[in-house]
Amino acid sequence: MVIQLKHFKPGEILFREGDPGGDLFFIENGAVEIFHTRNETDVQLNTVGKGELIGTVTLFDASPRTASARAITEVKAQYYDREAVKKSVNNIPEGIRAVIKDILIRLKQTDDKLVKSHLISLKQTRLCENTVLTHAAQAAKLLLWLAGKQGKDAGALCLSPDIDWPPIAFALGMKQEYLEEIMEVFREHCILQDVFTVDEASKETLSFQLQNTAQLEILIPWTARFFDEGRSIMIEDSLFPWVKGLVSAYSNTPLLSWSCEWPEVCEALEKQIKSPLPENLIQLLIKANILQYAGMKANRLTFVSPENIRERVAVEDMARQLLKLKPKLINAETVSA
């Protein structure tokens, strides 16, 4: 049997679902993920590494691949073409072949069930996320409407704590406690601010002052885009803390010197985030379209969109907190009660 050695870079595809099968890969070094693609979503089935085989599901009939394989790290693999595999399989006693074939059929059935289960879970998660952000956008529109009704500019609208929230929440199709949770997120992101006033009788009153209509106006179209595209519009979760820290400290700085300033930037970020710096952070931020090289100088960096990066981080930071909420909707039992 002739063995070929093949090398794959991270992200490189070994084979795709639907490709002709029958050949095998034996992993000498590295890690490979096996995944299905359904509705433009990758569903990971397994991760294989050193000493493991890939391609066994189509071992007997050379049928089309039932999944795709992609290198996670640098991969070195022994490759056995389908003719060589076929000869070896034919040398296996018939009874043992039948047992192996039955195992592979059951494995494929298990993979199919896993994909269906994952897609159902993904659909439910997406529905929940869309619901929360849609309600947040409705609450934002409510605040902007109240500001417009009173003819107030940003920072001038005051909402009394005595405002009749239950009918407002009911009109939005949500429970009062859920609306209050959304408003609390707005408060934590300095959109609403608690204001205490004292009248002539020394009675203290709490009201809520609208501080930042601009961020609400950004949130509304952003949620509509999220509804269409999902989390793909967001910075990766693993990168977001670093981008947030970088924007907080350096978004007003036009250029960063990779060779001079970057080590100091990294040290400051590690202290702020209290986590080791990811390897190749610069390359990751460039790939994510956050940073770019400034002109022809490979040691100078700048934000890709310095005028928008602060707004993007602010709205994504708030959205991440909103997405932790669970929708609490008014159901038929609530209405009848």
Amino acid at 43: V
Straight-line distance from the first to the last Cα atom of the chain, in angstroms, rounded to the nearest whole number: 76
Q: Write the CB contacts of 240 (distance below 8 Å, at least 6 apart in sequence).
A: 234, 313, 316, 317, 320
Q: How far apart are CA 323 and CA 222, in angstroms?
A: 14
Which of residues 42 and 304 earns the better pLDDT score? 304
The whole-number pLDDT of residue 202 equals 61
Dist. CA 2–CA 4, nearest whole Å: 7
Residue 254 and residue 260 in contact, taking contact as beta carbons nearer than 8 Å? no
**CB–CB of 77/17 below 8 Å?**
no
Residues of the chain with CATH 1.10.10.10: 134-230+322-336
Q: DSSP secondary structure string, 127-155?
A: HHHHHHHHHHHHHHHHHHHHHHHTTPPTT
- Joined together, the tokens standing for residue 155 give 């920072």
Q: Rounded distance, CA 185 to CA 143, Å? A: 14
Q: Which CATH architecture has domain 233-320?
A: Orthogonal Bundle (1.10)
- How confident is the model at residue 96, as a pLDDT? 58
Question: Using 50, 70 and 90 to split pLDDT, how confident is the model at 313?
Answer: very high
Which residues partner with 44 through β-bridges? 35
Six-digit token pair at 7?
């090398």
Q: Give the fold, CATH level 3, of 134-230+322-336.
A: Arc Repressor Mutant, subunit A (1.10.10)
**Could you write out the DSSP letters of every residue in 198-214?**
E-TT--EEEEEEE--HH
Q: Which two tokens mark 160?
A: 């009394």
Residue 330 three-state SS: coil
- What's the confidence (pLDDT) of residue 333? 41
> Are the C-beta atoms of 316 and 234 separated by less than 8 Å?
yes
Q: Which residues pair with 164 in a beta bridge?
A: none
Q: Which residues neighbour 181 within 8 Å (Cβ) at sequence distance 6 or greater?
A: 325
Predicted local distance difference test score (pLDDT) of residue 98: 61
Q: What are the pLDDT digits (tens) for 50-108?
A: 888 888 777 666 678 878 899 988 899 988 887 776 666 666 666 555 655 555 556 66
216-269 pLDDT per residue, tens: 889 999 998 888 888 888 998 888 998 888 888 776 666 666 666 777 777 878
What's the CATH class of domain 4-91? mainly beta
Lowest mean pLDDT among 15-29, 195-209, 229-243, 289-303: 195-209
pLDDT of amino acid 317: 94
Give the model's pLDDT for residue 205: 57
pLDDT of 185: 92
Q: How confident is the model at residue 315 (pLDDT cuts 50, 70, 90)?
A: very high
- The length of the chain in residues reads 337
Across all residues in the chain, what is the average pLDDT?
76
pLDDT at 151 over 70: no
Q: What percent of the chain has pLDDT over 70?
A: 69
Where helices occur in the chain by DSSP H, the ranges are 82-90, 94-149, 165-171, 176-188, 213-229, 240-250, 262-273, 281-287, 309-322, 332-336
Alpha-carbon torsion (34, 70, 226, 327), positive or negative: positive
pLDDT band at 335 (very low <50, low <70, confident <90, very high): very low
Look at 265 and 201; give whichever has higher pLDDT: 265
Query: Where, residue-wise, is CATH 2.60.120.10 in the chain?
Result: 4-91
**Structural contact between residues 288 and 236, judged by C-beta atoms closer than 8 angstroms:** yes
Task: Give residue 20's pLDDT band: very low, low, confident or very high (50, 70, 90).
Answer: confident
